[in-house]
Amino acid sequence: MTDQADQSRRNFLYVAAGGLGAVAAGATAIPFIGSMMPAADTLAAAKTEFDVSTVEAGQMVTIQWQGKPVFVVHRTAEQLKQLDGHDESLKDMNSEAIAEVQQPWMDTPEKRKFRAIKPEYLIVVASCTHLGCIPLFKPSAGRKEWGDSVPDDWPGGWHCPCHGSYYDISARVINGSPAPHNLHVMPYKYSSDTIVVIG
Partner 1 sequence: MLDKIMKTQLFAWVDKRTGAEAIIKSQLTEYPAPKNLNYMWNFGSLALLVLVLQIITGIFLVMYYKPSAEATLGGFTVAFDSVERIMRDVNFGWLIRYMHAVGASMFFVVVYLHIGRGMYYGSFKAPRELLWIVGVVILLIMQGAAFFGYLLPWGQMSFWGATVITNLFGAIPVVGELVSELLRGGFAVGDPTLNRFFSLHYLFPLLLVAIVGGHVHALHVVHSNNPEGIDLHKPEEMIPFHPYYTIKDAFGVAVFLLFYCYIVFFNPQMGGYFIEVDNYVPANNLQTPAHIAPVWYLTPWYTILRSFESKLLGVAAMGASLGILFLLPFLCKSAVRSARYRPMYQIMVIMFFVDVIILGYCGHTATTPVLKVVGQLATAYYFLFFVALPFLPKFEKTRPVPEGI
User: Is residue 163 annotated as a catalytic residue, yes or no?
Assistant: yes
- Minimum distance from CB of 59 to partner 1 (Å)? 35
State the DSSP string of the chain: ---HHHHHHHHHHHHHHHHHHHHHHHHHHHHHHHHTSPPHHHHHTT-EEEEGGGSPTT-EEEEEETTEEEEEEE--HHHHHTTSS-GGGBS-TTS-SSGGG--TT--SHHHHHH-SSSTTEEEEE-S-TTT-PPPEEE-SSSSTTTGGGS-TT--SEEE-TTT--EEETT-PBBTT-S--SPPP---EEESSSSEEEE-
The residue within the footprint of partner 1, chosen from 7, 8, 18, 54 (CB under 8 A), is 18
Give the footprint of partner 1 on residues 37-56 (CB under 8 A). 37, 39-42
Nearest alpha carbon to residue 101 among 188, 185, 198: 185
What is the C-alpha separation between 169 and 171, in angstroms, rounded?
A: 5
| Number of residues binding to partner 1, judged by CB under 8 A | 13
Q: Return the number of the residue (7 or 175) whose C-beta is nearest partner 1.
A: 7
To the nearest whole angstrom, how small is the minimum distance from the Cβ of residue 49 to partner 1? 22
- Among residues 1, 5, 27, 36, which is the contact residue for partner 1, using CB under 8 A? 36
For partner 1, the closer of residues 35 and 108 by Cβ is 35
* Binding-residue pattern over the window 56 to 95 for partner 1, x denoting contact by CB under 8 A: ----------------------------------------
Q: Which is nearer to partner 1, 12 or 190 (CB)?
A: 12
Selected range binding partner 1 among 33-41, 55-63, 96-104, 156-164, rule: CB under 8 A:
33-41
Catalytic residue among 86, 159, 163, 181: 163
Binding residues (CB under 8 A) for partner 1: these are 14, 18, 30-32, 34-37, 39-42
